[in-house]
Amino acid sequence: MVVIGAGPGGYVAAIRLAQLGKDVVLVEKAPTLGGVCLNEGCIPSKALIHAADLKHEVQHAASLGIAANDVAVDMKKLVKWKDGIVRRLTGGVKFLCEKNGVEVVAGEAAFESDRRIAVTTGDGRVEIELEQAVVATGSSPMELPGFTVDGDRVIGAHEALSLDAVPERLVVVGAGYIGLELGVVYSKLGSKVSVVEFLPELFPTLEPEVAQTMKRRLKQLGIDLHLSHRAHAFTAGEPSIVTALGPGDEELKLEADKVLVSVGRVANTAGLGLEEIGVELDSKGFIKVDDRQRTTAPGIFAIGDVAGGALLAHKAYQEAKVAAEVIAGEPAAFDNVAVPAVVYTDPEIAWSGLTEREAREQGLEVVTGTYPLRSHGRAMTLNAADGFIKVVADATTKQLLGVTAVGPGVSELMGEATLALEMGAFLEDVAATIHPHPTMSEALQEAVEAALGKAVHMLNE
């Protein structure tokens, strides 16, 4: 078995295949295992987010009776700490592959046929014959015309995670997950941040309360948000100038020492030779797969970002296990009810299942319950009571359909919420479950009780 790509999907697929008794070769062109997630995405960004949050909390703790006159940021030391975390985790992946008997080949792979790949390594060309293959090559940042990433003035997330100094002025192009997370980080570290977003609203597919809360918080953090603006031109200089066009093509000029471009991602399929072996792509360039992660070419599977859908590491984990078990002849399919998602901004945004609008568009009659964190003791003690928990359920059966949360640490609530959705839980199931006090998890129970008209710590509507 050959797995191409050693990101969250690829290394999990390789290890699971080996556990199931398969002879596995894992091919990775990057110098370290772990893919974007471990090396320049999920993990390093959360390290910087934690550091930025810590600095911001200390600077704004006067109301708690804690005063700090000067909080300095040593970016080189911070980046060194972040890199140490990355090294430990990527080293751990390498260790697990070795101990599970996975053979790792460093190089770039391409299919010569559906049963043979050629790998270009540092020592030359290697051919590997295979029975089946898993493509897990991930995705890359989408390019924006006129804003070529040079690693200096115009940067991507990779460079933003390893800057040696905090830029005085940072312009972020794109208000998605990455743009907002890193925009908040650098605002807290001391940058003057401006965000340019083509769409007229933040997170338009989520509950409208999400955008309302986030816009309020971004303003408090001093971040200038320019919605309905298209990044038009970049002029290098001291400072550089970003020109954006508004709804009526009016010009907005923003000064920048760094410009972070984050406008989406594209599948890494170029050069793999997929078309020649009969692997079909969809209209956006992602590999078509069925619920068993099988492509249109017999014996060829695809998982993770390259297979489209939600571009999330935990989805790749699950798809990897499904693919490995299907290859091993076990009954498996990607039939999950919900895929949770989190944006690690301030406050955090997390959701799982259907929003109210999505449920109504499916023709469902729904009941909702929303619990504002301004009423929640634990959120108050965290000095972060701006947010809410909202649940959506079937109005007749009271089966839980979806949960959306905005607030401190709400990412940790999504495990419970998703488990409830997977198990087909009803509102009463969650309401009757004793939640520890005082915790953020209680807020989910409170929102459920509100949907049932049984709220105690807020007025029932």
Half-sphere exposure of 306 (CA within 13 A, CB side): 29
Q: Measuring CA to CA, how many Å separate 316 from each of 30, 107, 138, 295, 361?
A: 18, 22, 9, 15, 28
SS (H, E, C) 346-409: CCEEEEEECCHHHHHHCCCCEEEEEEEHHHCHHHHHCCCCCCEEEEEEECCCCEEEEEEEEECC
Q: Are 144 and 155 a contacting pair, CB within 8 Å?
A: no
Half-sphere exposure of 197 (CA within 13 A, CB side): 21
- Cis previous bond, 239, omega within 30: yes
- Dist. CA 349–CA 357, nearest whole Å: 18
For 158-299, strand residue ranges (E) read 169-173, 192-196, 224-226, 230-235, 240-245, 251-256, 258-261, 265-267
Look up 437 and say whether it is catalytic: yes
Catalytic, out of 56, 229, 435, 437: 437
For 61-191, strand residue ranges (E) read 103-106, 108-113, 116-121, 124-129, 133-135, 139-141, 154-155, 169-173
Q: Quote the distance between the C-alpha of residue 192 and its chain's center.
A: 24
- DSSP letters of 210-247? HHHHHHHHHHHTT-EEETT-EEEEEE-SSSEEEEEE-T
Please state at what angle helix 177-189 crosses helix 42-59, rounded to 10 degrees. 40
- Dist. CA 411–CA 46, nearest whole Å: 12
At 150 the three-state DSSP class reads coil
The amino acid that residue 132 corresponds to is Q
Q: Are 454 and 431 a contacting pair, CB within 8 Å?
A: yes
Catalytic residues: 437
